[in-house]
A and B are shown apart, each in its own frame.
Chain A
Amino acid sequence: MPDLMPALPEIFLLTMACIILLADLFISDKNRVFTYLLSLATLAVTAALTVTLHTPEPVYTFDGLFVSDSMGDVLKVFVYLVTAVAFIYSRDYLLTRKIFQGEYFVLGLFAVLGMMVLISAHNMLTIYLGLELLSLALYAMVAFQRDSSDATEAAMKYFVLGALASGMLLYGMSLIYGITGTLDISAVHTAVAGLENSKQLVLGLGLVLVIVGMAFKLGAVPFHMWVPDVYHGAPTAVTLFISTAPKLAAFAMVMRLLVEGLGDLHDQWQDILIIMAVLSMAVGNVIAIAQANIKRMLAYSTISHVGFLLLGILAGTQAGYSASMFYAIVYALMGMGGFGMIILLSRAGFEADQLSDFKGLNERSPWFAFIMMILMFSMAGVPPTLGFYAKFSVLQAVVGSGLTWLAVVAVVFSIIGAFYYLRIIKLMYFDKAEDMQPLETTTDMKVVLSANGLGILLLGLAPGGLLALCTAAIG
């Protein structure tokens, strides 16, 4: 009998997801809000469980297929937080579009379960299964608005490319398995260290395919094609979710596979990641400038952020990993706020996804224009926002590992990228509003969105805590 305690949050979440699924059947459309509240409560309890069950030393269970460690627990708590906020932001959006159904929340919870499995995976089998669980739930969520042809197209592209990426990942994993004879991450690490030279080439092929699969899931150039279309086509509430929380899980996947499993091949994967990081920052930042649709713009901005995320990992030091983790968390918080603003501006029959829809926001609502300004400054990396420290710590780690030229390149692309973030601020403050409709939304969304924006500012003023948390989690 395996020790079930370390996996209690997962078990609880799964049970609750099934209960909510069944309960939702008996809840009428009028009372659908119970499903929503129950989902939020589930996330809260799961978070409490994760925190109380936390131990400083990693705990393995299910014959080493599952691990619960500090990095995992910190990431999981942020996944719950981001998901809960995503649920709060989506409520009004879903209601006005008449897709406020229980399945949205159930699929969201299953996606969270997938992320938890992925974060806690200590075996290539569980990595793959967690990834599939997460992706499957996300495909369905993207297609959730059935009468929207954009959403259907986005789901189709996401599904086909996602399946291709899974195939690549599996192919790579099977090559690694064939060479090392094991799927367990620690055992792979040991086997790689003692591998004879003649087998290094096959291992290299496996490594390349695994990286390709992960790059697809992360949305790093040149495997980024799906990102703009999916972010654009999906309902904004779903875009908000898929652009934030899964990135935390993807970071964990990269850490488990590349660092914990294939850490000895650092020299080999560093080069690949450098190319992908530079390309991601270049393509993301340059193409984002040309976008008129803000969802697409944020999609390209995500690609550039992923480039930054990779920078920290490729540094290959403890400082680099924790900086990268810090970056992933900060990005999730910023992305949430950015898409939250689009939801705030949208209403029934109006998506507010054009840049011009932000014109003159200051006249309509000075407070939310201010929040948006913080978010944009943070994404651009302007001090004293949180985004600045995220970029700063990553660059510090990159310089620390002797790749100064790479840091210079990253700074140059960040400056290019600042252009389109600042353009939004210009639109909000210096242009005339075309549409003077008041912003109408629920109070909880207003409160949470304000907290989201202010949090980024305040945490930016005192980033030490979060940074220390990430350093402790990695070390």
Chain B
Amino acid sequence: MGVESITFYILSSILVGSAVLVVSLRNPVFCALALVLAFFTSAGIWILLEAEFLALTLILVYVGAVMVLFLFVVMMLDINLAVLREGFTRYLPFGLGVAIVLVAQLALIVGGPEQFGLEAMPKPEPHAADYSNTKEIGRVLYTVYLYPFELAAVILVVAIIAAITLTLRRRRKKQVMSVDDQVKVRRNDRVRLVKMASGNKDK
């Protein structure tokens, strides 16, 4: 077992562990943090797969931006844990039953390692040292996959339109300062120097 597989097993066990924590921890803030850990370790696994561009983008986008906003929201919610736990024991047998059935079905259908094992998925050829994953992704993204790439952009535009439509409330009486006016203000608009005759002591 080389360094690579040791690293893989360490990372994947952390990944599985943190994924379990995401759904099992009670405090939503911890759940979100466990999810961050899960993203981080999966980025590590992607780096093992020589997909460094995707791995770093995963950290940058999901860990650096999406999860920050997620935490932001979760922290502001005042979640009553007792209420959340109320239905847990009641629904536990049902949930467990469904889970067992699902796992059994999956095991039955997928049928273990002969479908997805190392033999079924042979190891791809390692790339040459000057292979740049980033360049390759860029190349196919703007040629073969141009259409879905543009569609993804359209979906994001629609998301922006939807979010703004649903949240923007124009108040009737605006009490907001106009920043432009503030910046444009000149000394003469605010201060007036008045020349006055000095008082005469003789009078």
List residues of chain A with CB under 8 Å of any chain B CB: 2, 7, 14, 18, 21, 62-63, 65-66, 101, 103, 106-107, 110, 113, 117, 123, 125-126, 129-130, 132-133, 136-137, 139-140, 143-144, 146, 178, 198-199, 201-202, 204-205
Contacts and interface: CB of A to CB of B under 8 A. Distances in A.
B154 A202 contact: no
Interface stretch (B20-28, B44-52, B109-117, B181-189): B109-117
Interface stretch (B35-43, B126-134, B143-151): B143-151
> Main SS of chain A's interface residues?
helix
B155 interface: yes
Contact of A110 (B116, B148, B152, B161): B161
Contacts of A137: 158, 162
Nearest to B148: A125
B148 A103 contact: no
B154 A113 contact: yes
Contacts of A140: 158, 161-162, 165-166
B113 to A, nearest CB: 12
A204 B116 CA distance: 15
Contacts, number: 77
B138 to A, nearest CB: 16
A107 B111 contact: no
Given A129-B155, A199-B115, A202-B110, 6 more contacts: A21-B161, A107-B161, A110-B157, A129-B148, A136-B155, A140-B166
Nearest to B165: A103
A246 to B, nearest CB: 15
Given A14-B154, A107-B161, A201 B166 contact: no
With a 10 A CB-CB cut-off, give which of B115, B154, B158, B162 has the most chain A CB atoms: B158
B146 A62 contact: yes
B103 interface: no
A136 B158 contact: yes
Interface in B154-189: 154-155, 157-159, 161-162, 165-166
B114 A198 contact: yes
A198 B151 CA distance: 36
Given A63-B144, A66-B147, A204-B109, A133 B158 contact: yes
A133 B154 contact: yes
A136 B109 contact: no
Given A65-B148, A117-B151, A130-B151, A202 B115 contact: yes
Interface in B77-116: 106, 109-111, 114-116
Contacts of A205: 106, 109-110
With a 10 A CB-CB cut-off, give which of B116, B157, B162 has the most chain A CB atoms: B162
Contact of A126 (B106, B114, B151): B151
28 contacts: A2-B147, A7-B147, A14-B154, A62-B146, A63-B145, A63-B147, A101-B165, A107-B161, A110-B157, A113-B154, A123-B148, A125-B145, A126-B147, A129-B148, A129-B152, A130-B151, A133-B155, A136-B155, A136-B159, A140-B158, A140-B162, A144-B166, A198-B114, A201-B115, A202-B110, A202-B115, A205-B109, A205-B110
